[in-house]
Every structure is written in structure tokens, then in C-alpha cells.
Amino acid sequence: MRILYAFMISILCACNGVQVKGESTELPVKDSVDKPTIASVKKRLTDQGYQIFDYVDEQTGDTILMQQYFIAFLKSGPNRSQSKEVADSLQRLHLAHLGRMYEAGYADISGPFGDDGEIRGITIYNVPTQKMADSLAGLDPMVRSGRLVIEIHPWWAAKGFPLR
């Protein structure tokens, strides 16, 4: 199961967007010949309801575009007494749900924590509102079964900075 988790994490760790350098820098766009300016990216995100802001990094002079995401903490739920067969089935459905969220562009990264604590894992949703993130997280079969519960918080990150 840990190998499957590691595989899912590696698939889900790609983030949308790119680091922006200066106002005149153009941003790459998936499946597009035209590359929009930072102003057009800001307009697109704002028009879609995303919360954004930008600032100039004093050290590099780069314009950094920040976007609000939503981080969902998947916590142990009240119903964890399922049989091994049911728990395994829910786990497969849970991973399929997370894969669909990633493929649809709603989630940028998901993964379990390495300990056996109350917080079992996270998903970072790339959606404009907390209500939307909550609705998508609530579709998870693990959440619907009560095996997991969700706690969602707004989270800001710079567009395009990769994990290291």
C-alpha cells in the first residue's frame, strides 16, 4: 500500500502555474501557442473567482504571483471499524477519487502523512472558493463513509514554485 501511496504522491505533486519574472514576462500555457502576459493571467484568475495578489521580490526584482488555494486535512473519522475488505475497497475508491480530482485540475497535490496520527493526509485544492473545495472533498468515498473527516483552510502559495 505504501508503494501505491508513493506512486500517487509522485503523480499528484505537479502544481499548476509558473514563477513570473517582471510584468513583461510571458507565462507558459498548456496546449496553447499563445503565451499570456501576467496581466492576462491575473485577469483570468480574478474572473474565475480566485483570490490573488502579487509582489516584487526585492532581491531578484521578479514579480511573484500569489494565489489562494485550499488545503484539506483528512482526519480520522468516527467510523473506522470497517472490515479489512471494506477498508481496502474504500482505500481504492479514495485513491481513484483523488486521481480524478487531479486529472480534472481541482487538486494539485495529495498524500498521506507518515505517522499514525489523527491527521491522515492532505489534499491541496486549486479552486476559487472554500465552499467548492469542501464540496469536492466531501465526495471522497472515505469521507462519505465516515472513515475520514475533512478540515479545510485557505492557503497561499506562489504560482509555479516547484516542490524541492
The reply to whether 54 falls in a domain is no
Residue-wise pLDDT for 80-136, tens only, equals 999 999 999 999 999 999 999 999 999 999 999 999 899 999 999 999 999 999 999
Helix residue ranges, H only, 48-160: 84-103, 130-138, 141-144
In which domain, by residue range, is 148 found?
Answer: 2-14+68-157
The reply to whether 134 falls in a domain is yes
Residue 161, pLDDT score: 83
More confident residue, 153 or 36: 153
The reply to whether 137 falls in a domain is yes
Residue 3, pLDDT score: 38
Q: Taking a C-beta distance cutoff of 8 angstroms, is the pair 120, 148 a contact? A: yes
Q: How many domains does the chain have?
A: 1
What pTM was computed for the model? 0.75
Residue 15, pLDDT score: 37
Give whole-number Cα distances, 85 to 48, 49, 73, in Å: 42, 42, 25
Residues 51, 16: Cα–Cα separation, whole Å: 15
Length of the chain: 164
The reply to whether 21 falls in a domain is no
Residue-wise pLDDT for 18-77, tens only, equals 333 333 334 344 444 567 778 888 999 999 999 999 999 999 998 899 999 999 999 999
The reply to whether 26 falls in a domain is no
Q: What is the CATH number of the domain that holds 121?
A: 3.30.70.1060
